[in-house]
């Protein structure tokens, strides 16, 4: 006859046998501090998880000849940029000096006008011969011409034509039947009486001069910054029948 020996190891629960150290779960023995999880660490292995992504790339040893960022500023690059900036500054300074030495202001172009319309109107309305210089060559460039009442000639109109002379000075002709003495004063400017020349009264100043003549109540004034010989040529060539030389490039005077 066989005898069975029965040991009393404690109560058995649905989760397995129960011991004094606590129930045993599927994940391992359970102690009073909680279940024990994870795989055991073998000797020679690290408990840290393996690196991945950029961290793994940074931790990888560099291969021979491989260029890798260090995260530090490149001193050689800074030096190269500074040298480029300095070189550019030197070049720009040299260009500025050359421009300063060689630059010359461009003179304003002379706007040449056609005095014919204003002269024709003056001769049609005036009751005296309206004058214009005859036989002037192309170096006499008319720049203004008008027939109108001015503050110094009112109530009478005044004829005016101005020229840039061959020596690049200025000369003008003024003519009016006004009896107002301010017309002459306006034409001669700061010039003062300085004798006579061939029936003309001379007026002279440092930078302007004038010739004045009165015929049958009509005052004629030749004046400007041009030298005396140039003004005398203009006065000698005045004619009641002369007309401007037509130039297709001129603009009708307004």
Residue 149: give its domain's CATH number: 3.30.200.100
Q: Per-residue pLDDT for 46 more than 80?
A: no
Listed range (24-33, 41-50, 83-92, 201-210) with the worst mean pLDDT: 24-33
pLDDT given for residue 22 in this prediction = 47
For the chain, what is the domain count? 1
Is 126 a member of any domain? yes
Is 207 a member of any domain? yes
Is 183 a member of any domain? yes
> Of all residues in the chain, what percent carry a pLDDT higher than 90?
51
pLDDT given for residue 108 in this prediction = 59
Could you report the per-residue pLDDT of 95-109, keeping only the tens digit for each? 888 888 877 766 657
Is 53 a member of any domain? no
- When pLDDT is cut at 50, 70 and 90, the band that residue 5 belongs to is very low
pLDDT given for residue 2 in this prediction = 45
State the chain's maximal CA–CA distance in angstroms.
180
Of the candidates 2, 234, 240, the one whose C-alpha atom is nearest the C-alpha of residue 122 is: 240
pLDDT given for residue 222 in this prediction = 97
Reduced DSSP (H G I as helix, E B as strand, rest coil) percent helix, strand, coil of the chain, to 5? 25, 30, 50
With residue 150 as reference, give the H or E element that holds it.
none
Is 26 a member of any domain? no
- When pLDDT is cut at 50, 70 and 90, the band that residue 42 belongs to is low
Both tokens assigned to 155? 């109530």
For residue 109, list its beta bridge partners: none
Structural contact between residues 168 and 196, judged by C-beta atoms closer than 8 angstroms: no
Could you report the per-residue pLDDT of 146-193, keeping only the tens digit for each? 999 999 999 999 999 999 999 999 999 999 999 899 999 999 999 999
With residue 92 as reference, give the H or E element that holds it.
helix 75-102
Is 234 a member of any domain? yes
Is 202 a member of any domain? yes
Q: Per-residue pLDDT for 30 more than 60?
A: no
Tokens 């300063």 appear where? 100
Of residues 12 and 209, more confidently modeled: 209
pLDDT given for residue 71 in this prediction = 59
**pLDDT (mean) for 9-37:** 48
Structural contact between residues 210 and 203, judged by C-beta atoms closer than 8 angstroms: yes
CB atoms within 10 A of CB 247: 13
Domain extent, residue 199, equals 113-243
Return the half-sphere exposure (C-beta side, CA atoms, 13 A cut-off) of residue 15. Answer: 11
User: What is the C-alpha separation between 228 and 128, in angstroms, rounded?
Assistant: 27
Is 129 a member of any domain? yes
């Amino acid at each position: 006859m066989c005898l069975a020996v029965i040991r009393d190891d404690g109560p058995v629960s649905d989760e397995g046998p129960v011991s004094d150290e606590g129930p045993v779960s599927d994940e391992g023995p359970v102690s009073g501090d909680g279940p024990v999880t994870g795989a055991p660490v073998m000797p020679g292995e690290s408990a840290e998880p393996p690196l991945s992504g950029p961290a793994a790339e940074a931790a990888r040893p560099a291969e021979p000849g491989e260029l890798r960022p260090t995260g530090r500023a490149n001193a050689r690059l800074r030096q190269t940029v500074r040298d480029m900036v300095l070189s550019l500054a030197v070049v720009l300074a040299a260009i500025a000096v050359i421009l300063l030495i060689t630059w010359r202001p461009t003179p304003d172009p002379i706007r040449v006008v056609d005095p014919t319309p204003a002269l024709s109107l003056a001769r049609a309305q005036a009751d005296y011969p309206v004058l214009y210089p005859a036989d002037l060559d192309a170096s006499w460039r008319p720049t203004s011409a008008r027939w109108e009442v001015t503050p110094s000639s009112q109530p009478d109109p005044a004829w005016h034509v101005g020229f840039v002379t061959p020596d690049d000075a200025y000369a003008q002709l003024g003519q009016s039947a006004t009896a107002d003495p301010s017309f002459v004063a306006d034409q001669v400017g700061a010039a003062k009486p300085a004798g006579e020349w061939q029936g003309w009264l001379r007026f002279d100043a440092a930078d302007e001069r004038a010739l004045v003549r009165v015929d049958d109540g009509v005052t004629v004034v030749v004046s400007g910054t041009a030298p005396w010989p140039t003004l005398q040529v203009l006065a000698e060539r005045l004619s009641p029948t002369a007309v401007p030389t037509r130039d297709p490039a001129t603009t009708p005077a307004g």
